[in-house]
A = this chain, B = another copy of it.
Amino acid sequence: MRKGSRKGSRKESIKILNDALKDMWGGASRLTKTASSRTRKNSLKAWKNFTTVSWRVDLAKDYEEQSKYAHGWYATWSEVVSWLVPAIVGFLTASAGCFIEKMVEWLGDLRFGYCADSLIWATRESCGPSWFDWGHGYAFYMLVSTILATISATLTYFFAPLARGSGIPEIKTILGGFSMAGVLDWNTLVVKIVGLSMSVAAGLSCGKEGPLVHIACCFSNLISKFIPRYARNEAKQRELLSCACAAGVAVAFGAPLGGVLFSLEEASTLFPSRTMIRAFFASSVAAVSLAWWNPTGSGKLTMFEAHYDEPPHFVEYYIFVMLGVVGGCVGAVFVHYNILISKARAPGSTFRKHCPMIVEVMLIALLTAATSYHVLYTRVLSNKAIRALFFPCSEAVQENADPHTFMLDLCNGEEPVISGDIMAVLALAGFLRFVQMTFTFATGCPAGLFIPSLYVGAALGRVVGTMATLFFQRFGMQIQANPGIYAMIGAASVLGGVCRVTISLVVIMFELTGGIQLIVPFMLACLTAKFVGDYFTMGIYDYCIVARKYPYLHEPDESMHHVFAQDVMDDDLVCLHTAPMAVSALMRILSESKIGGYPVTLSVDDETFVGYVHARTVKAYLEEQLETSQIVTGETKVGFIRYSKEKHNDVLDISHLVDEAVVQAAGKTPVAQVHSMFRNLGIKVIIVVGQGKLKGMITKKSFINAVEEISFEGYATATTTLQDNEAAMLKRTHSKFY
C-alpha cells in the first residue's frame, strides 16, 4: 500500500496539481517564493521507489491502537509477541546457519571427490574409506566450482536479483527509515540460503556471514507480516529488524554480544533500549539454538578458538599498531577498487552489455578455482585456512590434530614454521584472495566479505608475525612472538579497514577466538585501521550505499553549522487552506498528485502555518464518509474550519485530520541541527517556518540529497552568497544607527 503512494516524481505531481488547482483556488494553492527554486529533483527521481518511514507518526499510531486494549489479555499478548518474534527469528536464523554450514561442507568436498555410499550430505570426513577422489583433480575442482557458482548466479538472476551481495547496505538503508520493495521477501530468503551455500562451497572468495544478517532480516519481515501490530507499522517492523541483525551476526560468528553491538554500531539508526534488550534476547536465543544444533560438533560457539594465555610483550604493541595501519590501507584499496569495478559492471555499462551477469560469475568462479588450486591455503575452504592460521601449534600437538589437514603444514612440532618460504606462500595466498574478493564482492551471487577480509588479514598478520620472530631472534631479544596472534590482529585490522566498525569488531574477534589477553591489541588495531582507512575512503557499506544511490542519512557531522534550513528547503510547495472546497475537488487533488502530504495554511494570502495533512489519511476518511454517510456527496463542502477565522455552515470539518505535531524549524536552524532532528527523532518531514508563516518544507529524501551535495561540492560555494548577504544586511542595519 505504502509502496505505490509516491511513485511519480514530485515535479510531475506538481504539474498535475497546478492544472487541477486552476478550478478551485479557494482550498489549495502553490507556494513559490523564488523563481529560481533550486532543482535537486534529478537524484530524487532515483528514489521514487523508496518510501520514507516516520517513526513519529507510526509510534503515535501504534500507541493509539495499543491503548484501545490497554488492559486485559491483549496487552500481555502484545508484550509476549514482542519477545517471541525475536526469539523465533533467532531460532530460524540459527537453523538456516546450520543448514548452510552443512551444505557448504558437503558441496565443498564434492570439488575433490565423492562418497560411494551416499551422495547427499556426505563429506570426506563423514564418508570415511568409501571416499573417492576425482581422477583429474584440477579439472574437476574447476568444473564443480564453476557449476556451483553458476547455479547460484542463475538462481539469483532469475528469482531474486536482490539476494546478491551481502545485503548489509540494503539493511542499513531500510533501518535508516526507507522501505525497499523485495529486499526482504520469500524469494530473496530462499535464494539467499541456497545460493549462498553454493557460492561459498564453490570456493569463491566470499563468506556467509554478512548474508546471514540479510537472512535473519528476511525471517523477521516475513514473520511480522502475520502479526497485525507489525504488519501495519513500519516503525515497529524496524525494531524487529534491529533484533534480527543482532541474531544474524550471533549465528554468523557465534558471537551473540558482537551481534547486538553490530546492530547498534553499524546497522541500526535508532536503537532505543527496548530494542536493545530484545536484540540481546534474540542474540541469546540464536546462540543457544546454534549451540543446540551444534554444527561443528564441538559444542562450542567459538569458531576459531585459539588459546594464547600469555599477554603479548609491550614491544609487540607497536607492531600491532603498524598492522592496524596496513590493515586500514588494504581496506581502503579494496573499497576503492571494488567500487570502481562495481561501477564498470553496473547495469547499462559497456561491460555489462557484452557480458551478462551469470557469465561474469562463471568467469570469476573459473578464475578463482584456477588460481586457488595450486596453493594449499587457497585450495581449502577459507575458514579452515583461517582456523589454521590462528591456532597455536603447541595446542595442536596436545590435541593430536593432523599437522597437514588441520594445521596446513604451518607447524614444526610444537613450534610454528619460521621461514622465508612460508612467508612467500602466505603472502601469495593473501594477495590472491585479496584480488579475488575485490572482483567477487557485489557480483551476481550472494556473497559476504567478512571471511575473505579476515583471510587476507590473517595471512598478512602471519607473514608479519613470522618476520617479527626472525627479527627478535636476530637481535637477541627475549620476546616470544606468536605468529598466530599476529594473524588474529591482522585479521581484525583488515576487516576494520574494510568495514570501519570498531567496538563491535573487537567483540566479534574476541568471541571468535576467545583471546581474552588480546582485547587491547584488537582495540588498538581496529582503531588505527578505522583512522587510516577513513583518511582515504568511506567504509565499504557506506560506499555501496552511495554507489547504489540509496537514500541514507549518516550520523550528523559537526561541520554543518554554516548552512541553514532555508538553504536546503523546498519552497515550491502545494498547500491546502482552511477555506472549504468540494469533496470531489479535494479527492481529485489527492488522487492525481502522488505527494505524501500537504502543509495547511490559513488562506492563500495568510500563510500562517496551521499543520500538515497526510494525503492517505484524508483520502481514507473522505472515502469512508462518502460510503457510509447519508449526507456527504461529492458536492459537499469540506474544510479545516476549526482553524478558519470565518464562520462556515454546512461544511464537513476535517480539522481533526490535521497533524499539528509535525516538526517545525526556523529558516535559520543550522543544517547540523536539522540533520540531528531527522536522524534522532525518526521523522519524515520538517516544516520551515518564519514568524509563524510557512516558508518551505524539507523532506528526508531532499535533505539527504542536499547533505550529499553540500559534502561533495564543499559548502563554501553554497553559503558564500548567503553569508555575504547576511553580512551586508547586518552592516546596513548597523550603519542606519551609527
A residues engaging B (CB < 8 A)?
Answer: 56, 59-60, 63-64, 67, 256-257, 260-261, 265, 272-274, 276-277, 280-281, 283-284, 287-288, 291-292, 299-302, 305, 310-311, 314, 317, 502-503, 506-507, 510-511, 514, 516-517, 519-520, 523-524, 527, 530, 555-556, 558-559, 561-562, 602, 608-611, 631, 641-643, 649-653, 655-656, 660-670, 672-673, 676-677, 680-681, 689-693, 729-730, 733-734, 736-738
Contact = CB atoms under 8 A, between A and B. Distances in A.
A314 B302 contact: no
Contacts of A681: 673, 676-677, 680-681
Contact of A661 (B602, B665, B738): B665
Contacts of A556: 272
Given A280-B502, A556-B272, A661-B666, A300 B311 contact: yes
Nearest to A507: B257
Contact of A276 (B56, B257, B503, B693): B503
Contact of A502 (B277, B608, B690): B277
A309 to B, nearest CB: 8
A664 B661 contact: no
B680 A287 contact: no
Contacts of A737: 631, 650-653
Contacts of A669: 660-661
Chain copies in the assembled complex:
2
A672 B311 contact: no
Contacts of A559: 63
Contacts of A284: 520, 523-524, 527
A110 to B, nearest CB: 32
Contacts of A273: 555
Contacts of A288: 317, 520, 524
A698 B390 CA distance: 58
The CB with the most chain B CB atoms within 10 A, among A524, A631, A641, A660, is that of A660
A660 B655 contact: no
Contacts of A562: 63, 67
Contacts of A730: 656
A292 B313 CA distance: 10
17 contacts: A256-B523, A260-B503, A274-B558, A280-B523, A284-B527, A301-B520, A514-B516, A611-B666, A631-B738, A656-B730, A661-B666, A661-B669, A663-B665, A664-B666, A673-B681, A677-B681, A692-B693
Contact of A653 (B317, B663, B734): B734
A281 B530 CA distance: 12
Given A257-B519, A691-B609, A672 B59 contact: yes
Nearest to A693: B692
Given A280-B523, A561-B64, A662 B672 contact: no
Where chain A touches its partner, the secondary structure class is helix
Contact of A503 (B261, B530, B641, B680): B261
A430 B676 CA distance: 48
Contacts of A691: 602, 608-610, 643, 692
A196 to B, nearest CB: 25
A677 B665 CA distance: 12
Contacts of A608: 691-692
B665 A257 contact: no
B667 A523 contact: no
A681 B736 CA distance: 38
Contact of A257 (B506, B670, B690): B506
A69 B314 CA distance: 38
A520 B668 CA distance: 50
Contacts of A680: 676, 680-681
Contacts of A664: 664-666, 689
Contact of A511 (B60, B274, B519): B519
Nearest to A632: B737
A665 B677 CA distance: 12
Given A260-B503, A280-B523, A660-B668, 4 more contacts: A63-B559, A284-B524, A305-B516, A650-B737
Nearest to A601: B691
A401 to B, nearest CB: 16
Nearest to A70: B559
A415 B556 CA distance: 57
Contacts of A272: 555-556
A447 to B, nearest CB: 28
A685 to B, nearest CB: 14
A655 B733 contact: yes
A660 B668 CA distance: 6
A-B pairs, top 10 by smallest CB distance, nearest first, are A692-B692, A680-B680, A63-B561, A660-B668, A514-B516, A661-B669, A660-B666, A284-B523, A653-B733, A287-B520
A302 to B, nearest CB: 6
Nearest to A279: B503
Most chain B C-beta atoms within 10 Å of own C-beta, residue among A520, A668, A693 = A520
Contacts of A736: 649, 653
Contacts of A287: 519-520, 523
Contacts of A530: 277
Contacts of A673: 56, 661, 681
A251 to B, nearest CB: 13
A308 to B, nearest CB: 12
Contacts of A666: 611, 660-662, 664
Contact of A507 (B302, B507, B555, B631): B507
Contact of A292 (B276, B314, B602, B689): B314
A530 B274 CA distance: 12
Given A277-B527, A516-B516, A661 B668 contact: yes
B280 A503 contact: yes
Contacts of A67: 561-562
A587 B288 CA distance: 68
Contacts of A511: 516, 519
A226 B273 CA distance: 36
A710 B400 CA distance: 66
A673 B662 CA distance: 10
A211 to B, nearest CB: 23
A311 to B, nearest CB: 6
Nearest to A651: B737
